[in-house]
Amino acid sequence: MNRSEAKQRIGDLRAEIQQHDYRYYVQDAPSVPDAEYDRLMRELQALESEYPEFVTPESPSQRVGGEPLDGFEAVRHETPMLSLANAFSEEEIHQFHDRVSRGLEIDHVEYVAEPKLDGVAISLRYTDGLLQLAATRGDGVTGENVTSNVRTIAAIPLQLKRRGKSGAWPAALEVRGEIYMPLAGFEAYNRRAREEGGKELVNPRNAAAGSLRQLDSRLTAQRPLAFYAYSIVASEGLPESHFDALALLKSWGFPVNPEIRRVRDAQGCIDYFIGMGRKRDRLPYDIDGVVFKVDSRDQQVTLGFVSRAPRWAIARKFPAQEEITRLIGIDVQVGRTGAITPVARLEPVFVGGVTVTNATLHNFDEIRRKDVREGDWVIVRRAGDVIPEVARVMTERREGEPPEFQMPQHCPVCGSAVERDEGEAVFRCTGGLVCGAQRIQSILHFASRRAMNIEGLGAKLVVQLVDAGLVNSVADLYRLEREQLAGLERMGEKSADNLLAELEKSKTPDLDRLLFALGVREVGEVTAASLARHLGSLEKIMAASEEELVEVPDVGPVVASHVRAFFNEPHNVEIIKELETAGLHWQAPETNEGEQPLAGQIWVLTGALGMPRARARTMLESLGARVTGSVSAKTTFVLAGEAAGAKLRKAESLGVEVLDEETFRTLLQSHGVSL
Ligand code: JCF
């Protein structure tokens, strides 16, 4: 290759890489596998190192960072970077809309609603379509020049895409948006830091801010940062509608949040806020609220500003997901399988919308890793309906040197020895069903809704029954008599009768539910269903060797050994006999062996479903379908749950039929699958 051929090839490679970046970051629909992308990048780097005279700052090869700086220069924002007023209630949204409509003297207002990212605001200046300067918000008037760091963020275009005449960009352009760290990247980064003994990032927001403040841009380049643009500052040539301006940004190559919508009046804003609140935990990034902006620029100008915030925009905040409180002590709880889990007792704190007094500490290793000690100030996190956890300790606030937490060597409930399974994080009480805690938990599990579904048999009652010596195993439940029950505290004759009726009703379970209810370690609903379907009867499951068990889909060697161990235990076999004597009989699953209505079909599952994905998969496979991970022209159906992304778009672009969950359930039911 001669010099001019190299120049040509460098240009082609840059254009191709830029196009792949656009597909990946803006359209969220990757056009080539990572390996192919890497190959193009390596070829570009090789050519540029052979012909350094052709290297330009806009080359995608330049995203690796450069020499460290001594400090960041100050940058003055010609148009100040505003802050947003906050609304903390529905009422305040109404008040906002009333102010806007009064100010504009109109009844109805169009707003643009968007998730409010928990990241770092950034201003990007482009001249003739080339990135010149990136600055943080600072105090709104003066920020810091972080251009060399921002250049390493692949989602930020170094050079704008050209569109036809109508969509041409102004020669001088400022784009504002939020740099953030996607949760997946944050977690992957920390996993690696843990493995390599490096420093972990505290949370995605701090991680984004800290990454931008690195003087050495090669370090920033290692951080998985992303970007969404949210406004354009330019003196001329902009659309009247803010929403249209966002579409224009996208056409120039900026990622724009796909959740952004145009809504109408206060009610539209409120509905959007509620919807986003439901979706919050399924988004691939942290948000701390939503932002509403008046869509019309003319209207924005009419409304103007109060001090440093626009009158035409407001942020509605979600309750904080992290708060600081004091850890009073560490308790341990014994679960159904004897697993001993440490629990933090906390000074009550309002977080994620509820008052929290307990939080999980996961396991012993986590306590050591986070260095949690009694009396510490801790950050408690409660995201959505997830169990609250101690996210981290504020060791800087610790007074003195409290002792490290020690796992008890004896079970706090039954006194049996506590042991740690080899290669596992979990400590276990070795007492088995001798341990009152395990007995109670195993009975509760047996009665739970997804197992035998015995309504009215809650924790308080089970504790009473065990304490009174009436119930020692699940088989004893079916020997309970009316007088015994009615004699218990807080238990009338009516509730006694109801419970007996519930027990009676539970005597003809499906085999998979019974199997799940028995509480074999590692045998969840999906595995239980698979065992029942493939082996057909409890006798066969009980008699199966480990070799036979691993033949069953969804069963690996670990599960197989737990199943074998469970049925090798005479006590467990005895309980099953007693259940039969008490009149229980379980129905074998209807086999559709040989009858496979979906044979030959290839399915892809994507997005969030209302059932575990493994379950949907097992059910499809039981009907003869094959389930794969990526969409291609061969795919028969794509089942798209909520917040489905790239796979859904790929299906649409290939013309593959897409089903929603509702339709999917109907389809399964039409083939006799019970849900
Ligand atoms: O996502 C954000 N954090 C965010 C912040 C989004 C916006 O549209 C904003 C903002 C701060 C100020 N808009 C303004 C005017």
pLDDT for res 211? 95
In percent, the amount of the chain with pLDDT more than 70 equals: 98
Which residues neighbour 545 within 8 Å (Cβ) at sequence distance 6 or greater? 564
The residue nearest atom 5 of ligand 1, judged by CA position, is 116
Bridge partners of residue 324, in order along the sequence: 379
Site to probe by mutation for ligand 1, drawn from 228, 260, 291, 292 as the one with most ligand atoms within 8 Å of Cβ, is 291
pLDDT in tens, 346-391: 999 999 888 999 999 999 999 998 999 999 999 999 977 778 999 9
pLDDT in tens, 396-425: 899 899 999 999 999 999 999 999 978 888
82 lines ligand 1 (CB under 6 A): yes
pLDDT for res 644? 83
| Dist. CA 304 → ligand 1 center (Å) | 17
Q: How many residues does the chain have?
A: 675
What's the average model confidence in pLDDT over 119-136?
96
230 lines ligand 1 (CB under 6 A): yes
291 lines ligand 1 (CB under 6 A): yes
292 lines ligand 1 (CB under 6 A): no
| Residues 379, 384, 389: CA angle, nearest 5 degrees | 30
Residue 134 CB neighbour total at 10 angstroms: 24
| Dist. CA 291 → ligand 1 center (Å) | 7
Nearest atom, ligand 1, residue 118 CA: 3
Does residue 329 have a pLDDT over 70? Answer: yes
pLDDT for res 554? 81
Alpha carbons 176 and 165: distance in angstroms, whole number: 23
What's the average model confidence in pLDDT over 16-37?
89
Tokens in use for 64?
Answer: 């690796």
84 lines ligand 1 (CB under 6 A): yes
Answer for the pair 54, 48: CB distance below 8 angstroms, yes or no.
Answer: yes
| Dist. CA 231 → ligand 1 center (Å) | 8
pLDDT for res 93? 97
Answer for the pair 133, 75: CB distance below 8 angstroms, yes or no.
Answer: yes
229 lines ligand 1 (CB under 6 A): no
Which residues neighbour 80 within 8 Å (Cβ) at sequence distance 6 or greater? 140, 141, 308
Nearest atom, ligand 1, residue 83 CA: 12
389 lines ligand 1 (CB under 6 A): no
What's the average model confidence in pLDDT over 536-556?
93
Does residue 392 sit in helix, strand or coil?
strand
Answer for the pair 513, 528: CB distance below 8 angstroms, yes or no.
Answer: yes
Does residue 164 have a pLDDT over 80? Answer: no
120 lines ligand 1 (CB under 6 A): no
pTM, rounded to two decimals: 0.68
| Dist. CA 232 → ligand 1 center (Å) | 12
Nearest alpha-carbon partner for 479 in 570, 575, 567, 571: 575
Bridge partners of residue 638, in order along the sequence: 604, 658
Answer for the pair 604, 645: CB distance below 8 angstroms, yes or no.
Answer: no
Q: How far is CA 48 from CA 18, 38, 230, in A?
A: 16, 15, 34
Specify the DSSP element, H or E, that contains 598: none
Residue 233 CB neighbour total at 10 angstroms: 17
pLDDT for res 619? 85
| Dist. CA 288 → ligand 1 center (Å) | 11
What's the average model confidence in pLDDT over 282-301?
95
313 lines ligand 1 (CB under 6 A): yes
Does residue 231 sit in helix, strand or coil?
strand
Residue of 116, 370, 647, 650 marked active site: 116
pLDDT for res 261? 98
pLDDT for res 592? 52
| Dist. CA 116 → ligand 1 center (Å) | 6
Token look-up 């509480």 returns 519
The residue nearest atom 2 of ligand 1, judged by CA position, is 116
| Dist. CA 121 → ligand 1 center (Å) | 7
| Dist. CA 184 → ligand 1 center (Å) | 23
Answer for the pair 169, 253: CB distance below 8 angstroms, yes or no.
Answer: no
Site to probe by mutation for ligand 1, drawn from 176, 294, 308 as the one with most ligand atoms within 8 Å of Cβ, is 176
3 state SS for 603-619: EEEECECCCCHHHHHHH
Is 634 noted as a catalytic residue in this protein? no
pLDDT in tens, 183-202: 999 999 999 998 898 888 88
pLDDT for res 591? 56
Average pLDDT of every residue of the chain: 91
**φ, ψ for residue 415 (rounded to 5)?**
80, 0
- Dihedral (CA of 434, 438, 444, 450) sign: negative
In percent, the amount of the chain with pLDDT more than 90 equals: 69
Provide DSSP, 444-513: HHHHSTTTT--TT--HHHHHHHHHTTS-SSHHHHTT--HHHHHTSTT--HHHHHHHHHHHHHTTS-BHHH
Which residues neighbour 607 within 8 Å (Cβ) at sequence distance 6 or greater? 640, 641, 642, 643, 644, 645, 648
116 lines ligand 1 (CB under 6 A): yes
In single-letter form, the type of residue at position 165 comes to K
Strand pairing category for 110-117 and 287-294? antiparallel
| Dist. CA 310 → ligand 1 center (Å) | 11
Site to probe by mutation for ligand 1, drawn from 79, 81, 83, 84 as the one with most ligand atoms within 8 Å of Cβ, is 84
pLDDT for res 594? 54
pLDDT in tens, 33-77: 888 899 999 999 999 999 999 999 999 999 988 888 889 999 999
252 lines ligand 1 (CB under 6 A): no
**Gyration radius from the chain CA atoms:** 30
- Residue 518 — pLDDT band, cuts 50, 70, 90? very high
Can you list the alpha helix ranges (DSSP code H) found in 143-279? 147-150, 183-195, 204-212, 217-222, 242-251, 265-279
Does residue 559 have a pLDDT over 90? Answer: yes
